[in-house]
Amino acid sequence: MSARALALLLVILPAAGLAGCLAGEEATTPSANNAEENTTPVAPGALPDNRSGEFSAFKETNATEDGKGGLEHHHDNWGGQTRIDLFVLRAMMWPRPSASGTSAVFHMPPGALVYEGTSQVEFTVSNPQRHVCDPSAATFGGEHTCTSGSGFGTPEVPTVPDPNPPTLKLEYMHAAASEWIPLGDLAWGTPFIIPISNPAETDMPHATTSLWQFRVLSSSPADVTLTFDVSATIIRGPAGIPLWPGHPDFYKETRFRTVYDGTVAIREGGQLTALLGRQFEPAKPEKLISYGTKTLYVYANITGYEGTPGFAPTNWYLYYKNATGDWNITDIYDANNAVESAKSLKFVLKVDDAGMDTPYAPSSRWEFLVRGALANCYSGCAAYSAEYTLTVIATDLLADEYTCGGIAETVCPTGAKEEGRKR
């Protein structure tokens, strides 16, 4: 089980995690007697809070929502609190060590965000124990098969306190970071204080998934047996909450928007990657997939294809990422059609609230790539090169049927995420 999945199962969600406009609370207009408001004006089109970039939405439309949501307003999600837990859970180190050691990565659970106005984040590890399991034991889905977490229904192996726990190191990524930032050593039971020096490091209003991540590292491969409690808490600071524009209305003037239209080239070497190399650059939409969007129509027209004998793909599928940051896959396009005859492809994706871009984002977090599958092996097996035109159309209308894969089970029960397929 991944750290993200672990967080989803064990996290204690913050009481105020759904406060603000996203939960239906009406947007508030500026008030002169509200000490938490920041009415400092920003340049037209520029993002507040010293964030880089410009509003993508307002390059596309000047229309805003009806009502208070369409007026300039603040996004104070604190609900009067000064401390909010992002997650509190029991964790374990990655049970597949490398020569350099092992680690545990923590993504935010849905609804947990580092709000504007956060002055620091406290990250704490405590209660170190060892699970009685040989580090070299077989693993399944990231879990030791000798624990109940393997899914085999076997009894959980007991844990014992560690009287001399190792010193672990902490790294993190904030909302404006693209690489891990080293912080230093963790002390057991003592909060590690991560100061926020720039408001742009906090998550943007109406983000559905936090861009913050934490990584705990050990230099010893033997620490795969280490388990511990871990928590992250945001602390409210004195800085004011800035004004943001009214929410853009992407579908007031049109029901269909072309968010991407271009040409994509891909080359995968599969098991021959060392010999054939790899070209792997997903298409990134020029426009946001945000408020109001219900459905995406993805059209691919294969204009060039060459398969490697013995490793040629047997069919196509869509590999895509939404605003959660997770990569998803659809089922193969048509199990009865070979790659050579399936030239014009159509995928229909359902867009839910969790997968939407924030309407204030400077660019979309979605990415798309049509890839070749070899039988039931979706990744790392097929060897081929292809070129295709790709068009992605967003609409606020629901479709009659959706392409399975990466969608809630109530919509597409046979779908699967990338991590669930053979690689």
The C-alpha angle with vertex 340 and arms to 337 and 345, in degrees rounded to 5, equals 65
DSSP assignment string, 262-289: EEEEEEE-GGGHHHH--B---B--SS--
CA dihedral (334, 338, 344, 345) positive or negative: positive
Q: Are residues 208 and 348 in the same domain?
A: no
Burial of 346 (0-12, 13-18, 19+ CB in 10 A): exposed
Backbone angles phi, psi at 2, to 5 degrees: -75, 160
pLDDT value for 144: 57
Q: Are residues 237 and 261 in the same domain?
A: no
- Among 242, 269, 299, residue at a domain's last position: 242
Q: Are residues 85 and 198 in the same domain?
A: yes
Which tokens is 196 given?
Answer: 């926020």
Which tokens is 316 given?
Answer: 């196509």
The C-alpha angle with vertex 15 and arms to 48 and 25, in degrees rounded to 5, equals 55
pLDDT value for 338: 63
CA 411 to each of CA 284, 305, 355, 368, 414: distance values in angstroms, whole numbers, following the listed order = 25, 32, 15, 20, 9
pLDDT value for 30: 31
Q: What's the start-to-end Cα distance of the chain, in Å?
A: 16
Helix (H) or strand (E) holding 106: strand 102-107
pLDDT value for 74: 86
The closest of 212, 392, 215 to 298, measured between CA atoms, is 392
Contact indicator for 110, 173 with CB cutoff of 8 Å? no
- Under 8 Å CB-to-CB from 41, ≥6 apart: which residues? none
Give domain status of residue 251, yes or no: no
Neighbours of 332 (CB within 10 A): 21
pLDDT value for 131: 80
The closest of 39, 419, 51 to 241, measured between CA atoms, is 39
Q: Are residues 203 and 346 in the same domain?
A: no
Count how many Cα atoms sit within 13 Å of the Cα of residue 147 in the half-sphere of its side chain.
22
pTM, entire model: 0.75
Contact indicator for 188, 128 with CB cutoff of 8 Å? yes
Q: Are residues 177 and 274 in the same domain?
A: no
pLDDT value for 151: 45
Pairing of strands 118-131, 159-161: antiparallel
H-assigned helices in 33-117? 57-60
Range of the domain at 27: 3-242
Q: Are residues 264 and 407 in the same domain?
A: yes
Which tokens is 254 given?
Answer: 């049109």
The neighbouring-strand residues paired with 384 are: 268, 307
CA 103 to each of CA 88, 125, 129, 219: distance values in angstroms, whole numbers, following the listed order = 18, 13, 15, 9
- Among 242, 267, 290, residue at a domain's last position: 242
pLDDT by residue for the chain (423 residues), tens digit each?
A: 333 333 333 333 333 333 334 333 333 333 323 334 554 544 556 788 778 778 888 889 988 889 888 888 889 999 999 999 999 999 988 877 788 899 999 999 988 999 999 999 999 999 999 887 655 555 555 555 555 444 444 445 668 899 999 999 999 999 999 999 999 999 999 999 999 989 889 999 999 889 999 999 999 988 988 999 999 999 999 988 888 888 999 999 999 999 999 999 999 998 777 777 788 899 999 999 999 999 999 999 999 999 999 999 988 889 999 998 888 888 766 655 567 777 888 899 999 888 899 999 889 999 999 999 888 788 888 999 999 999 999 999 999 888 865 433 333 433 333 332 222
Contact indicator for 256, 137 with CB cutoff of 8 Å? no
Q: Are residues 121 and 29 in the same domain?
A: yes
Give domain status of residue 32, yes or no: yes
The closest of 396, 323, 328, 413 to 110, measured between CA atoms, is 323
pLDDT value for 98: 83
**C-alpha to C-alpha distance for 232 and 50, rounded to whole angstroms:** 25
Q: Are residues 233 and 281 in the same domain?
A: no
Give domain status of residue 391, yes or no: yes
Q: Are residues 238 and 263 in the same domain?
A: no
The neighbouring-strand residues paired with 98 are: 101
Backbone angles phi, psi at 354, to 5 degrees: -65, -25
Which tokens is 231 given?
Answer: 């928590």
**C-alpha to C-alpha distance for 142 and 172, rounded to whole angstroms:** 21
**C-alpha to C-alpha distance for 52 and 200, rounded to whole angstroms:** 8
Number of domains in the chain: 2
The single-letter code of the amino acid at 346 is K
CATH of the domain at 285: 2.60.120
Q: Are residues 236 and 290 in the same domain?
A: no
Neighbours of 390 (CB within 10 A): 20
- Among 242, 267, 286, residue at a domain's last position: 242
